[in-house]
């Protein structure tokens, strides 16, 4: 009896383990689905780029190892557009890396993790001469990230921020050295060997780039936890007067009034819209272009708008808080622009209700 039970139990365990193995196989991360969900909106479904760099560029794929792609996804780029994907498991990131590798039939770069030693002083001199015009004097990278406004369409990448902690954590000395030696075909990055530098010179530049890890430069994007999502102000005036005050305050702040309409226009039947909720759209086209150049996705809360609402005889004016929204984009440059926009919005709301 004991032997029969043992055989039965063995069969049950075998069936369970087989089922478990099958379920694990079924649950294996789908690199394409994960890429589509987490990466495609910036890098394009075909990896040809957009807000993010073109991952399908053969010169890029053959100059970076899998470890670089993995760490870039895991750590992101602090204060730049690329966020850290902390919620993805290692297996999920590995699946994405494998899928990205499929964009081009080129082998991954064979680089080591060994350190490069050089003359940092000479490296700083060479960096200033050869690198700073694209990567910034302090390695802060090229300006802007938007594909539409901030870079020509024939320029596939913005020079990356070399002082970024995410980049320095992902890139080994050997990878940086190899990029300097070979350049990156299809981008402005040239081979420094062809420019006449020696391998020793290149080692010196790598040493200088690595020193950015010891710098005090911070590129942390703002924390929006303490920032209210919506700016609200009570108005002592009736709705019509408040609407006119908002228009006057926006014009005084150098904005042009674009449109005034019921909040539910297009949502309610024509002629049945609420007259107690009014939206005023206004724009400063110079500011609009400069902000869109930093990140075109910011267009979801542009042009500027203020909503005036009357409830039980009380009038409120409100607008989104750009500073709160900016934290969604992981872009230090955009944070500064949105700080200015928040200050302007607050002034308009205060002027309209003074």
User: Which pLDDT belongs to residue 100?
Assistant: 96
pLDDT of residue 311: 92
Over range 120-126, report the average pLDDT.
96
In the predicted structure, residue 134 carries a pLDDT above the cut 60: yes
Please state the pTM of the whole predicted model. 0.70
Nearest-Å Rg of the Cα atoms of the chain is: 27
What pLDDT, on a 0 to 100 scale, did the predictor assign at position 126? 96
| Averaged pLDDT for residues 40-64 | 88
Q: Give the strands of the sheet with 277-283, arranged side by side.
A: 230-235, 314-320, 304-311, 277-283, 256-262
Residue 266's pLDDT is what?
Answer: 85
Average pLDDT of 197-203? 96
Mean of pLDDT values over 53-63: 88
Query: What's the rounded mean pLDDT across residues 127-142?
Result: 91
Q: What is the pLDDT of residues 68-79, one digit of tens each?
A: 999 999 999 888
Q: Kindly state the average pLDDT of the residues 201-229.
A: 78
Q: Which residue has the higher pLDDT, 288 or 258?
A: 258
| Higher-confidence position of 140 and 347 | 347
Check residue 106 and give its pLDDT. Answer: 82
pLDDT at 145: 62
Q: Which of 115, 110, 127, 139 is nearest to 197 (CA)?
A: 127
State the pLDDT at residue 151: 57
Vertex 130: Cα angle to 126 and 131 (nearest 5) = 100
Give the pLDDT of residue 153: 58
Q: Identify the pLDDT of residue 209.
A: 95
Peptide bond just before 303 cis, omega within 30 deg: yes
Q: For residues 238-265, b (16+ Cβ closer than 10 Å) or e, as one string?
A: ebeebbebbbebbeeeebeeeeeebbee
Does residue 3 register a pLDDT over 50? no
């Amino acid at each position: 009896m004991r032997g029969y039970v043992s055989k039965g139990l063995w069969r049950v365990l075998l069936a369970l383990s087989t089922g478990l193995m099958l379920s694990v196989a079924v649950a294996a991360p789908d690199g394409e689905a994960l890429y589509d969900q987490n990466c495609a909106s910036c890098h394009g479904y075909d990896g040809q780029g957009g807000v993010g760099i073109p991952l399908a560029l053969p010169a890029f794929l053959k100059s970076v190892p899998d470890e670089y792609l993995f760490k870039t996804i895991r750590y992101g780029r602090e204060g730049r557009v690329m966020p850290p994907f902390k919620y993805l498991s290692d297996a999920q990131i590995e699946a994405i890396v494998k899928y990205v590798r499929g964009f081009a039939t080129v082998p991954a770069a064979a680089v080591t993790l060994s350190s490069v030693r050089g003359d940092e002083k000479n490296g700083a001199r060479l960096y200033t001469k050869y690198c700073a015009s694209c990567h910034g004097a302090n390695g802060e990278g090229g300006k802007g990230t938007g594909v539409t406004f901030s870079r020509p369409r024939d320029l596939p990448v913005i020079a990356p921020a070399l002082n970024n902690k995410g980049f320095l954590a992902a890139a080994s000395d050997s990878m940086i050295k190899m990029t300097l030696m070979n350049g990156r075909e299809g981008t402005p990055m040239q081979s420094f060997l062809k420019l006449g530098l020696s391998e020793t010179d290149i080692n010196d530049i790598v040493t200088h780039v690595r020193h950015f890890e010891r710098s005090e430069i911070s590129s942390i994007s703002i924390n929006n936890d303490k920032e209210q999502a919506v700016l609200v102000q009570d108005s002592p005036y009736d709705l019509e007067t408040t609407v006119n005050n908002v228009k006057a305050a926006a014009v005084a702040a150098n904005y042009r009034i674009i449109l005034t309409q019921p909040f539910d226009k297009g949502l309610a039947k024509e002629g049945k819209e609420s007259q107690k909720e009014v939206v005023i759209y206004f724009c400063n086209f110079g500011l609009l272009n400069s902000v869109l150049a930093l990140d075109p996705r910011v267009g979801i809360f542009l042009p500027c708008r203020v909503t005036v609402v009357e409830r039980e005889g009380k009038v409120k004016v409100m607008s989104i808080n750009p500073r709160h929204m900016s934290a969604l984009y992981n872009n230090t440059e955009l944070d500064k622009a949105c700080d200015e926009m928040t200050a302007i919005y607050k002034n308009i709301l205060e002027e309209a209700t003074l």
